[in-house]
Amino acid sequence: MSKKYLCGLVLCLVSVLSWGGMFPVMAPALKIIDPFYFTILRYGSVAIIFAVILFFVEGPKSFQTEGHAARLWIFGTAAFAGFSFFVFLGQQTAGQSGSIIASVMMAIQPLLGVLVGWIYRGKKPTTASLISMFIAAIGVFMVVTKGRISILFSGHNTVLAVVFILLGALCWVIYTAGGDDFPEWSILRYSTITTILGVCSVIIVLAMATIFGWLKVPTSAQVTNVQSALIYMITIAGVVAVFAWNMGNRIIGSINGILFMNLVPITSFVITITNGYRVSTFEIVGCLITISALVGNNIHKRYTTKLKTEK
């Protein structure tokens, strides 16, 4: 194994461990501040950091969209408005088990990518992929219900939370797929421009929601109380994780890198348990089923790709 490939593995590991930790970190913060204003505090800071780095690394000309402003705005809005709004709103809605549900839903992103590829690029999913999606859905169902189907009918919060988180995961998949449309751009440039445009959408949404009284501007005390979570989300789960993930996948390939997404729910489980949450057997089994579906689909992809290469 070359040093470069090993470096790629380490980068992917760093990113998924960072993302796995963000859900437990956000759990107490969401009791203090809404996910919408938290998003602007987080990604507004990330956008500034990205912009400064891009300016000094590639120069002012790299900020030009080259006629792709509309597409970049859609991708940026999906990632930095849609993802954070939906995922953390879902986590907040789910309550105590929100971090567990959110982390498991993140693990099915590769399977959601199959659907996005089908709709956006016309790549029809294989039978194996469809079966994997069904199995993964069973695993998610077990995590959400904890073996008690009555949870789905006792109120709308759990079902609504799952819908929100699923939409958020889908938004990130759309953003990731959009990156393939700009192969000539550096990772830094794509990340920076989409972040800036996405933050513009966040500002517009927050301004309208605040004017109509749907949201309130957080107080300085609220911001101070979530500063630890904010620092983590900006630096570790933001700038560091995004760069590490993109660079790691470029080195080892997406088919290898995507397997690291399995560590997101595992990391979240460990941290959540350490914080005192009692994980049920159904949640653990459901997580393992979801991970198995992802690994099985990945192995099938490798096998079919190898056969095509040999031919």
Quick one: 108 exposed, middle or buried, by C-beta within 10 A (0-12, 13-18, 19+)? Answer: buried
Query: Which three-class secondary structure state does DSSP give residue 162?
Result: helix
User: What is the domain extent for residue 115?
Assistant: 3-310
* pTM of model > 0.85: no
Torsion of CA 62, 66, 69, 75, to 10 degrees: -70
83-125 pLDDT tens trace: 989 998 988 888 777 777 887 777 777 778 778 878 877 777 7
> What is the domain count for the chain?
1
Token code pair at residue 27: 């759990």
Q: Which pLDDT belongs to residue 198?
A: 95
User: Closest Cα partner for 222 from 27, 26, 32?
Assistant: 32
Q: Which pLDDT belongs to residue 273?
A: 77
pLDDT value at 262 more than 90? no
Residue 153 or 17, more confident: 17
The answer to whether 282 and 147 have CB atoms below 8 angstroms apart is: yes
> What letters, b where the CB count within 10 A reaches 16 and e where it falls short, cover 187-196?
bbbbbbbbbb
pLDDT value at 221 more than 70? yes
The answer to whether 25 and 232 have CB atoms below 8 angstroms apart is: yes
161-191 pLDDT tens trace: 888 988 998 998 888 888 778 888 988 899 8
Q: Which pLDDT belongs to residue 216?
A: 92
